[in-house]
């Protein structure tokens, strides 16, 4: 009746997962009770769960990402402390648990932490920066988000029911085949990643279509903000690479469920085919994360330097270059496969060449600051910390791209230090920089500056104290994923790394305190102008937070840095552009289809993991029926009356008048 599922799936004998589970369940129950008692359900359902507004969906993506970052960070603390505690000892985590932790850490950080955050930024920003009212497919956007959430849910359910994979974040066969991993861990991984991967693909298609087909008047390609370019390139990579992941995981699923022989080491299966296929997705995935991060920095540097971005065209070319070359470097993840000198040389050179595109960008950012009036606000601190950190991470990457050197450092702690160096240095720093920068746009008030500065310095120093020792350990010969360590001479470095983690914990606490304090003091931090940083792109032309239709009248762009031009004209002429003729606006209606589908795909995934076939069939049928049911609806759009549009926009104009006055006074003084 319940397939493989029975009571022994609950980890009653293991105190750590059990206590964590109980705490998490209590927190979730507490939140649900609070929502019920405060009668927030109707609001949540109307304004968030069924919302097809790209800004709301972007915020939900980011919230999901932040939650998962915290979960992944908890795993990281356990790993670093375990290794420090297990020098000539067994530590406090048994091997089968430790293996689940490093698998979950990688999977969660990349696929359920960084990805939702990056998609959140793209969703929130791309339509605003392009001067349009929504993404190309608003309802599908909601479906994509909820599928990502469904995948994240399944990963976290594995904590309470059953186990997670012990194979590493990419489940290499033959270890991940049924013969060697008969439990449900790999199945949790497969279904969670598969479901959220489909969500990501939907988001990718959506953003590509939005950027290519949905720009406001005058917004030609070479006038788009660089963030839109990076979003476009990242989503092109999603469209090209995520299907590879889907196919690869489907093959592994067939191996595990039906006894196929794609990747087995018997009967003509080919494990190295998995490694090739999965990295043909995995390497572009790195750039899917990092390109939007570059986009975020490319927005922040000009704003806080008071100058246009240096070398806009070369930035665009470098982005496209990275987009294309990132598809041709995947083999550097396994130079040791034995593909031969010629193949390794090709991939070694292509991996080094990609640093050229990145180098162009670094110089452009530095030259953007050069001669500018740099304001050291929190987003700028993260961005400058990024340049320093990322350059070192990039250089160690070039070392790893040299095949003979890679034979020595392959799968060592040097590699671990390197990819944390680039992913934290670029993606995570960009996420915090972007959060600080666009938070007022999303919520209408700024984040507290002092706590932001504290969070940056703790994170920056903590990062280096944690990971610099790992570089050393890698060169001393320590391999990754060790549950215990038999070399006491590594002790100082492992302890130093734990000190770094402690500093990082302070950073995380500062970040959380920053949120709490800012929400408490929101009236003091309120952004009434809609343009708190003296911004340059179109999102700052809207009030904070923007109305659900973004722009009362679609902007007409007449040059690069669309909003900067509008602002300068207003300052010069001492007046806003004349009030436009307001017209009614058609906006898409809310839809529960995303939530509904994701609910049933979660059930479907769970049923497949535990081999509950009848439930799987039922859930799949219900999901399909739901889709057909929603396809039947007749009303897709509703009209916002012209008076309402005018009311909202006149309020915006009033705020702009005040801003204009202030800007003119500043101009007169300087």
Which parts of this chain interact with another protein (CB under 8 A)? 132, 136-137, 201, 204-206, 208-209, 212-220, 239-240, 242-244, 246-248, 251, 254, 258-262, 264, 266-270, 273, 277, 554, 557, 624, 628, 631-632, 634, 636
- CB closer to another protein out of 512 and 553: 553
Q: Which lies closer to another protein via its Cβ, residue 212 or residue 516?
A: 212
Contacts of 30 (CB under 8 A, 6+ apart): none
Name the pairing type of β-strands 585-588 and 637-640: antiparallel
What distance separates the 2 farthest-apart alpha carbons in the chain?
81
String of DSSP letters for 317-374 = HHHHHHHHHGGG-GGGGGGGG---HHHHHHHHHHHHHHHHHHHHHHHHHHHHHTTS--
d(CA 542, CA 552) in angstroms, rounded, equals 9
Q: Output the six-digit token pair for 132.
A: 């349009």
Comparing C-alpha atoms, which of 175, 337, 166 is closest to residue 255?
175
Of the pair 44, 212, the CB lying nearest another protein is at 212
Cα separation, 101 vs 78, whole angstroms: 8
SS3 assignment, position 585: strand
Beta bridge partners of 643: none
The smaller minimum CB distance to another protein, of residues 38 and 213, is found at 213
Q: What are the CA-CA distances from residue 107 to residues 28, 134, 152, 226, 331 (Å)?
A: 22, 31, 10, 29, 20
* C-alpha closest to that of 433 among 377, 371, 501: 377
Helix H or strand E encompassing 640: strand 637-640
- State the DSSP code for 446: P
Smallest distance from another protein to CB 223, Å: 8
Nearest distance in Å: CB 130, another protein? 9
Query: Which CB sits closer to another protein, 248 or 396?
Result: 248
- Please compute, for residue 214, the number of CA atoms within 13 A of its CA located in the half-sphere on the CB side: 19
How many whole angstroms separate alpha carbon 624 and alpha carbon 308? 49
Closer to another protein by CB, 144 or 185: give it. 144
Taking CA atoms, 233 is separated from 272, 320, 438, in Å, by 29, 7, 21
Between 204 and 397, CB nearer to another protein: 204
Closest listed residue to residue 609, CA positions, set 264, 167, 153: 153
For residue 240, the minimal CB distance to another protein (Å) is 6
Residues 6+ apart with CB under 8 A from 178: 255, 256, 259
Q: 304: closest CA among 230, 379, 248?
A: 379
If the CB atoms of residues 6 and 266 are measured against another protein, the closer one turns out to be 266
Would you say 185 or 269 has its CB closer to another protein?
Answer: 269
Q: What is the CA radius of gyration of the chain?
A: 25
Nearest distance in Å: CB 257, another protein: 12
CB of 498 to another protein, least distance (A): 42
Output the smallest distance, CB 556 to another protein, in A: 9
Q: How far is the CB of 233 from another protein (least distance, A)?
A: 14
Dihedral of CA 101/103/108/110: which sign? positive
Q: Which is nearer to another protein, 216 or 435 (CB)?
A: 216
Q: State the minimum distance, in angstroms, from the CB of residue 313 to another protein.
A: 17
Q: Measured from the CB atom, is 214 or 501 closer to another protein?
A: 214
Q: Which is nearer to another protein, 175 or 273 (CB)?
A: 273
How far is CA 574 from each of CA 436, 532, 619, 657, rounded to the nearest angstrom?
31, 20, 62, 9
Q: How far is the CB of 330 from another protein (least distance, A)?
A: 13
Least distance between another protein and beta carbon 53 (Å): 17
Q: Which residues are CB-neighbours of 80 under 8 A, at least 6 positions away?
A: 466, 494, 497, 498, 501
Whats the size of the chain, residue-wise? 670
How much of the chain is in helix, strand and coil states, percent to nearest 5? 70, 0, 25
Closest C-alpha to 556, from 546, 569, 543, 544: 569
Q: Comparing C-alpha atoms, which of 293, 316, 502, 308 is closest to residue 387?
A: 293
CA distance 642 to 404: 67
User: What kind and span of H or E run contains 638?
Assistant: strand 637-640
Whether 364 contacts 315, CB under 8 Å: yes
**Minimum CB distance to another protein smaller for 621 or for 654:** 621
Cα 256 to Cα 278: distance, rounded to the nearest angstrom = 17
Residue 588 DSSP SS3:
strand
- For residue 656, the minimal CB distance to another protein (Å) is 23
Q: Compare residues 186 and 251 and give the one whose CB is closer to another protein.
A: 251
Smallest gap, in angstroms, from Cβ of residue 187 to another protein? 19
């Amino acid at each position: 009746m319940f397939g493989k599922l029975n009571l022994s799936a609950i980890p009653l004998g293991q105190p750590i997962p059990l206590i964590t589970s109980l705490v998490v369940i209590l927190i979730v129950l507490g939140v649900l009770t609070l929502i019920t008692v405060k009668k927030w359900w109707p609001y949540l359902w109307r304004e968030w769960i069924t919302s097809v507004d790209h800004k709301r969906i972007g915020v939900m993506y980011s919230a999901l990402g932040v939650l998962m970052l915290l979960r992944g960070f908890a795993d990281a603390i356990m790993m670093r402390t375990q290794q420090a505690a297990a020098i000539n000892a067994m530590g406090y985590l048994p091997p089968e648990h430790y293996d689940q932790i490093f698998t979950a850490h990688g999977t969660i950080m990349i696929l359920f932490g960084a990805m939702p955050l990056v998609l959140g930024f793209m969703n929130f920003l791309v339509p605003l920066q392009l001067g349009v009212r929504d993404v190309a497919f608003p309802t599908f956007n909601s479906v994509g988000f909820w599928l990502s959430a469904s995948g994240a849910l399944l990963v976290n359910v594995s904590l309470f029911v059953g186990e997670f994979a012990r194979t590493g974040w990419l489940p290499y066969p033959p270890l991940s085949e049924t013969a060697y991993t008969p439990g449900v861990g790999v199945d949790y991984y497969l279904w969670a990643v598969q479901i959220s991967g489909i969500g990501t693909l939907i988001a990718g298609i959506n953003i590509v279509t939005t950027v290519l087909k949905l720009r406001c008047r005058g917004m030609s390609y070479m006038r788009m903000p660089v963030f839109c370019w990076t979003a476009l390139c990242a989503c092109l990579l999603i469209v090209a690479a995520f299907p590879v992941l889907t196919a690869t995981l489907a093959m592994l699923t067939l191996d595990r469920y039906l006894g196929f022989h794609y990747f087995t080491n018997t009967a003509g299966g080919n494990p190295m085919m998995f490694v090739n296929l999965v990295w043909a997705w995995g390497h572009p995935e790195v750039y899917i994360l990092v390109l939007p991060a570059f986009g975020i920095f490319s927005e922040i540097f000009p704003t806080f330097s008071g100058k246009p971005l240096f070398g806009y065209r070369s930035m665009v070319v470098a982005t496209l270059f990275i987009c294309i070359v990132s598809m041709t470097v995947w083999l550097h993840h396994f130079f040791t496969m034995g593909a031969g000198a010629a193949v390794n040389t090709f991939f070694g050179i292509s991996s080094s060449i990609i640093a050229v595109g990145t180098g162009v960008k670094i110089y452009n950012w530095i030259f953007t600051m050069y001669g500018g009036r740099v304001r050291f606000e929190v987003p700028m601190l993260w961005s400058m910390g990024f340049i320093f950190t990322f350059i070192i991470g990039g250089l160690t990457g070039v070392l790893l791209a040299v095949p003979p050197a890679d034979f020595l450092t392959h799968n060592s702690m040097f590699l671990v230090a390197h990819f944390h160096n680039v992913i934290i240095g670029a993606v995570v720093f960009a996420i915090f920089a972007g959060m600080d920068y666009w938070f007022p746009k999303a919520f209408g008030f700024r984040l507290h500056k002092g706590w932001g500065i504290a969070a940056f310095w703790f994170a920056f120093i903590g990062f280096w104290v944690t990971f610099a020792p790992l570089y050393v350990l890698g060169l001393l010969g320590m391999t990754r994923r060790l549950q215990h360590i038999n070399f006491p001479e590594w002790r100082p470095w492992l302890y130093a790394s734990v000190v770094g983690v402690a500093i990082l914990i302070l950073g995380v606490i500062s970040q959380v305190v920053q949120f709490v304090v800012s929400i408490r003091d929101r009236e003091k931090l309120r952004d009434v102008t809609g343009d708190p940083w003296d911004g340059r792109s179109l999102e700052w032309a809207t009030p904070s937070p923007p109305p659900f239709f973004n722009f009362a009248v679609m902007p007409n762009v007449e040059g690069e840095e669309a909003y900067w031009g509008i602002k300068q004209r207003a300052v010069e002429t001492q007046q806003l552009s004349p009030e436009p003729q307001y017209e009614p606006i058609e906006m898409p209606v809310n839809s529960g289809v995303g939530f509904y589908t994701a609910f049933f795909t979660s059930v479907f995934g769970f049923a497949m993991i535990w081999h509950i076939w009848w439930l799987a069939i039922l859930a799949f049928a219900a999901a399909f029926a739901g889709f057909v049911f929603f396809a039947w609806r007749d009303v897709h759009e509703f009209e916002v009356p012209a008076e309402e549009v005018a009311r909202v926009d006149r309020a915006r104009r009033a705020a702009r008048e005040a801003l204009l006055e202030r800007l003119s006074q500043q101009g007169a003084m300087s």
